[in-house]
Structure 1
Amino acid sequence: MLHILFFLSLLFYASNGAVQDFCVADLTAPEGPAGYSCKKPAKVTVDDFVFSLGTVGNTSNIIKAAVTPAFATQFPGVNGLGISMARLDLAPDGVVPMHTHPGATEVLIVAQGTICTGFISSANSVYLATLKQGDIMVYPRGLLHFQINSGKTPALAFVSFSSANPGLQILDFALFANNLPSALVEKTTFLDDAQVKKLKAVLGGSG
């Protein structure tokens, strides 16, 4: 038994010794389920590990909000590290509609303004809070959540994720911004035809 444990320990240390320090994303290669392929170390520079979230996002849109991601696609240095970030700008009355991140837990910190936010558990329990500057909230992986600027001035938050590619699905767009037949949307949401057609027209859907 001791011989087996010793052999396994050697395998463990050997495998750990082969682990690379990093895997900067090679954006010229296709992205796979495990992320991007690694750029050759000789081509890696310090710029791969630096990214700016200092630019205010354009909130001149239907939701009056802007998300500036620093995921592996934008920030190659986080590829394979299990982390990423984003900047969230919310104009007055701005909203990030109900959405999920299938691949990551999210942590949000408010840097400016006031944000009403919350998430819904799989048991349909609601966890709701109004956050001010310096406040932090965590959203467990895969659960529906949202953010609303509940103040009268622009709000700013920074979010971090437990994945370099957290994924995103916005509920409103999933229902009304595609060609899913209206009859099926009505059947599964209990909305009437006029409401569904109106939302499809607003969000660019058809059918």
Structure 2
Amino acid sequence: MASTLKLISLLILSSAIIQMAMADPDIISDFIKPTPNATVDANYFTFTGMRGLVGTTPATFSVSKATSAEFPAIFGQSVSYAVLRFPSGTVNPLHTHPRSAELLFLVNGTLEVGFVDTKNNLFTQTMQTGDLFVFPKGLVHYQYNADAQNPALAISAFGSASAGTVSIPSTLFTTNIDDNVLALSLKTDVATVEKLKAGLTQKP
């Protein structure tokens, strides 16, 4: 009985340590100063990098981020933001966020979205303006503007100051993984792998 309790306690402690290691740092002050002796005013808590995004449409899919890398004031605050702009017919390719779920709000247009869970179930939805959709933490997902005429604009919120993004195409085909390994893993041949790699390096 005592050994069982010790085992349960150890498992609970291990789980807590793993969760702490994966979460944003728990700061013990209101915020983190850029340098210890810095004088901080409201400008430090203001991010202007999204100005000019609304009402404009880029030629290709684009993401503008406000993570701790771009906006240091959010370090330790467990929050970040992204604005996603989709010209007609563009996709945000398959990717994951290893450190956070993503809550996507569609400001205008329509988007086809989806994610795959750990049992290989695909969940898809066609979002309309004003809809929200949640992509669970760490799961492969995408967004696609299938509308041939109209752009779409979406805002994503994350529960981490640095959610991270792992692009599936880039991870597979632009990181020098051996072509034979890729061919065997994808049940194809090296020539097909090379074509996929070439497609990713071509300018749109």
Using structure 1 for the length normalisation, give the TM-score: 0.77
Cα deviation per residue 1:15-48 (whole Å; 9 max; x = unaligned)? xxx9311124x3xxxxxxxxxxxx3363323122
Matched, 1:176 2:176: no
Distance 2:28 2:134 in 1: 30
Distance 1:41 1:115 in 2: 46
Give the partner amino acid of 1:20: S
- Specify every segment of 5 or more residues in structure 1 that has no aligned partner in the other structure, as ranges: 1-17, 27-38
Cα deviation per residue 1:135-155 (whole Å; 9 max; x = unaligned)? 000011100000001222111
Distance 1:169 1:199 in 2: 18
Contact kept, 8 Å, 1:111 with 1:157, in 2: the verdict is yes
Contact kept, 8 Å, 1:65 with 1:95, in 2: the verdict is yes
Contact kept, 8 Å, 1:176 with 1:204, in 2: the verdict is no
Q: CA 1:23–1:90 in structure 2 vs 1: closer, same or farther (change >3 Å)?
A: same
- 2:109 aligns with one of 104, 107, 113: 113
Q: CA 1:55–1:192 in structure 2 vs 1: closer, same or farther (change >3 Å)?
A: farther
- 1:20 aligns with one of 21, 25, 29: 29
Give 2:163's aligned residue.
166
Percent identity between matched residues is 33
Matched, 1:126 2:135: no
Distance 1:191 1:49 in 2: 50
Distance 1:195 1:55 in 2: 41
Using structure 2 for the length normalisation, give the TM-score: 0.78
Distance 2:51 2:129 in 1: 17
The farther-off stretch of 174-183 and 87-96 is 174-183
Distance 1:54 1:110 in 2: 18
Distance 1:195 1:44 in 2: 54
Cα deviation per residue 1:174-197 (whole Å; 9 max; x = unaligned)? 111121111110011112222211
User: Whose relative contact order is higher, 1 or 2, with alpha carbons under 8 Å and at least 6 apart?
Assistant: 2
Give 1:42's aligned residue.
38
**Displacement of 1:58:** 7.2
- 1:78 aligns with one of 74, 77, 102: 74
- Specify every segment of 5 or more residues in structure 2 that has no aligned partner in the other structure, as ranges: 1-26
Distance 1:58 1:176 in 2: 28
Structure 1 runs (4+) deviating above 4 angstroms are none
Give 2:191's aligned residue.
194
DSSP 3-state at the match of 1:146? strand
The farther-off stretch of 171-180 and 78-87 is 171-180
| Alignment RMSD | 1.9
Question: Size of the alignment, in residue pairs?
Answer: 172
Distance 2:133 2:57 in 1: 24
Contact kept, 8 Å, 1:178 with 1:204, in 2: the verdict is no
Give 1:66's aligned residue.
62
The farther-off stretch of 126-135 and 187-196 is 187-196
